[in-house]
Amino acid sequence: MAFAHHFMLQALYLGLLVFPSSAWAATENLNQLAAAALAVKEEAVGAQSPTLEVLDWAVASPALRLPAESTAAVPQLFSQNVTVQPSNLELRGQFETEQPLLSQPVNGRLAEATSSKSVATSTAITPGPSHIEGPVSESARLLGLQAQGVPQRQKSQTPLQLAPSKLFNLETANQQPAGTVSISTGVRFFFTDQVGFSTGLQVYNAAIDGGVTDRLQLGLATTLFDDRLPRALSGQSVDLQFLSIAPNFKYQLIKDSNLSLGLSGSLELLQILTTPGLLNPTPETITGNHLAGTLQVPLSYALNPELQVHFTPGVAFYPETINATPFFGTILNLGAGLSWQPLEQVNLFADLNLPLSGGNAISSQDSSIFRQLVWSAGLRYLVNPDVGLDLYATNAFGTTPATRFLSFVPDGDQTAIGVNLNYTPDFGQGYASSFRKGPRVQLGQRDAALLLDGLTLTSADTLLPGMLRLRGGLGAGDGLNIAYGLTNDFQVELIGEQLREGKDLNSDTYGPGLKLGPAVKLRFLDQVQGDPFSLGLKVALGLDLISDERIGLFSAELPFLYRLAPQVALSFNPKAAFVLERSVVGAGLGVNYGLSKDLQLIGEFTPLFTGQTPVWSVGARYFNSALGLGVDVYGSNAIGQYTLGGLVAQSDNGTSVGFNLHWLLGGGTNF
């Protein structure tokens, strides 16, 4: 009897391995084989524990995809009562599955590591349990065997993880790989004691670059400045609007293990609007379109894998005159820089641009053109492999290839603090989602509820990739917020809100109309994934759409979130908003208490360090995580819920009662 069981089990495994195209291609056949094997096993174990010998099997198989429901029963073929002793077993071919390869509880939640492709090619197989830790080939999983030496799919490095293709103001000879795309956007805040308003003197920038081949890279960059200059020119206050749009290219001529040499260039459209005093001899405002361009020969040399030096001679072409007044003309420039990666997530950059002929600065005394050294230094921190944050100092005016040569107007002696956000979307390259080791912990229902912002305080958590969040309401400001998760730690938002009349700041300061603008949020720490608490950063811009002045505002918030207990989450949110010459700075304190799976109580209080009236909000939230739908009912003395609105109290000590509606959808997760 034992011999018969032994023979039948051998036959079943031969059927599974030798005839995959017929036995595994159909779910019904696999289920029948699994059921038959289980029946044989149960009968065999009832008699005695057999030993199955698997000798010198060689399998040639095409690629297979096994439905998850078909694989569930097969590992049960083995238990401690059935011993498998393979000898020289080889698997050839490619096996694919959608079945998770690891399931184990982590911090009270379920962690799953799913391998979409595990490839075993002439791989030796040794015995192992049916539920094992670590990636294995699905063929071995079906047999209850652990694979040794199975080659794993390597995650591709993003352009942010590779040697930099450019520094803050310097082109390098490094290239983006073919098929990759990088997007950056940011702002430079110039500081001077001669300017009396807090939201002026910003230079905005954006760029997109893509690798066409491993040697050819194409890009588009833009720089915008629109403000009154901080110093008078020739005794006159000057309003300047400067826009540069710059398509550009870079081609790598030489590439070896240490040395790279390239050729880069740009053709730039300049739109310049000036009032009398700068490039304008008339009493009227003048707007004109002009062309500029660059040609550069970057050279990069790697001293070691983490440290590179860069030399970039180049020339920029500007008009010699604009409106019959001298302009920059042709600038011969010598650039040099250093890039160093001391840690996996940290890069340090520094660069210099020295004009050898022509001029790159404008004097405030007589508007003459002269030469000024342009510099920058700072760091890049990678939040995850897809997202990087730059923080640096510079005296450079713009970020396009031609405007990087220029110092800030006038005189070039003002220093800016620059902030840039870099993002590399994954178009099938297979980038890693984070720097964490091991599988991500899946969110529970309570975690899903905390993805929603509070009443006036931002959550430190970010949406899952592909998740969309909609929020709209009336009460303390009438507004709408749309947020979308691009990566696990990065989301973008669009915020629109009509503010109420404020007590310490009124609509004469921030404008009477709808405030509309973008926002971004990054997460640096994540308590769900094992960090001590969650920490994020949210930055938002807004523009009043009704006021003739198009009043702009800027806000930043640094939310901390600590899950004290499953039902208790505490928030601490330092935050600030700036509009015209006014600034409001405070620190929000909040608590979210879960009364039940779907019902929460929320309380928030924000004292202001700049002397204004504190802001408070209290309310209840019902959120059904399975449906992704929720509603708030609350009371607040704030003029709004987002950005500036959550920092300013209503006039006449007013209080509003309001509601919000929430809709959370997408992200590929059912809570």
Rounded to 5 degrees, what are φ and ψ at 235?
85, 5
Categorize the per-residue pLDDT at 219 as very low, low, confident or very high, splitting at 50, 70 and 90: very high
Kindly state the average pLDDT of the residues 124-148.
34
Kindly state the average pLDDT of the residues 556-562.
97
Q: Which of 84-98, 353-367, 470-484 has the lowest mean pLDDT?
A: 84-98
How far are the Cα atoms of 444, 491, 494, 609, 663 from residue 468, in angstroms, in the given order?
17, 10, 12, 34, 8
% of the chain beyond a pLDDT of 90: 63
Residue from 247, 251, 279, 255 nearest 263 by CA: 251
Confidence (pLDDT) at 580? 76
Kindly state the average pLDDT of the residues 221-248.
92
Say yes or no to pLDDT of 167 above 60. Answer: yes
Within 8 A by CB and 6+ apart from 53, the residues are 6, 10, 85, 87
How far are the Cα atoms of 58, 119, 389 from residue 89, in angstroms, in the given order?
7, 15, 50
Mean pLDDT over each residue of the chain, to the nearest integer: 80
Helix axes of 2-18 and 27-47: crossing angle, nearest 10 degrees:
160
- Number of C-beta neighbours around residue 553 at 10 A: 23
Q: Which residue has the higher pLDDT, 569 or 48?
A: 569
Q: How far apart are CA 53 and CA 87, in angstroms?
A: 8
Q: What is the largest CA-CA distance in the chain?
A: 109
Categorize the per-residue pLDDT at 85 as very low, low, confident or very high, splitting at 50, 70 and 90: very low
Local structure of 382: helix, strand or coil: strand
Say yes or no to pLDDT of 8 above 50. Answer: no
Q: How far apart are CA 273 and CA 210, in angstroms?
A: 31
Structure-block tokens of residue 251: 């081609």
Rounded to 5 degrees, what are φ and ψ at 301?
-130, 130
Provide the 8-state DSSP code for 38: H
Categorize the per-residue pLDDT at 199 as very low, low, confident or very high, splitting at 50, 70 and 90: low
Helix or strand (DSSP H, E) at 266? strand 259-274
Categorize the per-residue pLDDT at 303 as very low, low, confident or very high, splitting at 50, 70 and 90: very high
How far are the Cα atoms of 18, 73, 77, 298, 304 from residue 67, in angstroms, in the given order?
19, 12, 18, 52, 47
Confidence (pLDDT) at 668? 74
The listed range with the strongest mean pLDDT (77-86, 146-155, 441-450, 507-516) is: 441-450
Q: How far apart are CA 420 and CA 67, in angstroms?
A: 44
The class (CATH top level) of 445-666 is mainly beta
Within 8 A by CB and 6+ apart from 256, the residues are none
Confidence (pLDDT) at 438? 84
Say yes or no to pLDDT of 559 above 70. Answer: yes
Say yes or no to pLDDT of 132 above 80. Answer: no
Confidence (pLDDT) at 125? 32
pLDDT tens digits along 364-414: 998 899 999 999 999 999 999 999 999 999 999 999 999 999 999 999 999
pLDDT tens digits along 518-552: 999 999 999 999 999 999 999 999 988 876 667 88
Q: Which pairing describes strands 490-498 and 478-487: parallel, antiparallel, or unpaired?
A: antiparallel
To the question of pTM greater than 0.85 for the whole model, the response is: no
Angle at 327 (CA atoms; ends 409, 397), nearest 5 degrees: 30
Q: How far apart are CA 405 and CA 127, in angstroms?
A: 65
Structure-block tokens of residue 15: 């059927």
Residue from 200, 25, 160 nearest 582 by CA: 200
Kindly state the average pLDDT of the residues 252-272.
96
Task: Scan for tokens 């001293």, then name that residue.
Answer: 303
Residues paired with 633 in a beta bridge: 620, 659
Confidence (pLDDT) at 494? 97
Kindly state the average pLDDT of the residues 76-87.
35
Half-sphere exposure of 108 (CA within 13 A, CB side): 9
Query: Exposed e or buried b for every residue in 61-78, given b needs 16+ CB within 10 A?
Result: beebebeeebbeebbebb
Confidence (pLDDT) at 669? 67
Structure-block tokens of residue 457: 């305080």
Q: How far apart are CA 370 and CA 333, in angstroms?
A: 13
Q: How far apart are CA 660 and CA 593, in angstroms?
A: 18
Helix or strand (DSSP H, E) at 391? strand 387-394
Cα-based torsion angle of the residue sequence 462, 110, 156, 382 in order, rounded to the nearest 10 degrees: 30
Confidence (pLDDT) at 93? 32
Sign (positive or negative) of CA dihedral 330, 332, 338, 339: positive
What's the CATH code, domain 181-423?
A: 2.40.160.40
Task: Scan for tokens 């699994």, then name that residue.
Answer: 34
How far are the Cα atoms of 320, 333, 359, 543, 638 from residue 644, in angstroms, in the given order?
44, 43, 42, 12, 10
Confidence (pLDDT) at 192? 63
Confidence (pLDDT) at 154? 67
Confidence (pLDDT) at 614? 96
Provide the 8-state DSSP code for 442: P
Is 633 in contact with 443 (CB distance < 8 Å)? no
Is 601 in contact with 634 (CB distance < 8 Å)? no
Structural domain boundaries in the chain: 2-147, 181-423, 445-666
Categorize the per-residue pLDDT at 200 as very low, low, confident or very high, splitting at 50, 70 and 90: low
Cα-based torsion angle of the residue sequence 407, 409, 413, 414 in order, rounded to the nearest 10 degrees: -110
Is 81 in contact with 49 (CB distance < 8 Å)? yes
Q: Residue 363: what residue type?
A: S
Say yes or no to pLDDT of 116 above 80. Answer: no
Is 593 in contact with 568 (CB distance < 8 Å)? yes
Categorize the per-residue pLDDT at 153 as very low, low, confident or very high, splitting at 50, 70 and 90: low
% of the chain beyond a pLDDT of 70: 75
DSSP-derived secondary structure for 601-615: EEEEEE-BTTSPPPE
Categorize the per-residue pLDDT at 513 as very low, low, confident or very high, splitting at 50, 70 and 90: confident
Is 177 in contact with 158 (CB distance < 8 Å)? no
Provide the 8-state DSSP code for 257: S
- Number of C-beta neighbours around residue 620 at 10 A: 13
> Where do the H-state alpha helices sit in 186-303?
none
Q: What is the CA radius of gyration of the chain?
A: 31
Residue from 431, 486, 375 nearest 180 by CA: 431
Q: How far apart are the first and last CA of the chain?
A: 50
Categorize the per-residue pLDDT at 53 as very low, low, confident or very high, splitting at 50, 70 and 90: very low
Kindly state the average pLDDT of the residues 169-189.
96
Confidence (pLDDT) at 510? 80
Kindly state the average pLDDT of the residues 54-70.
32
Local structure of 237: helix, strand or coil: coil
Q: How far apart are CA 164 and CA 178, in angstroms?
A: 15
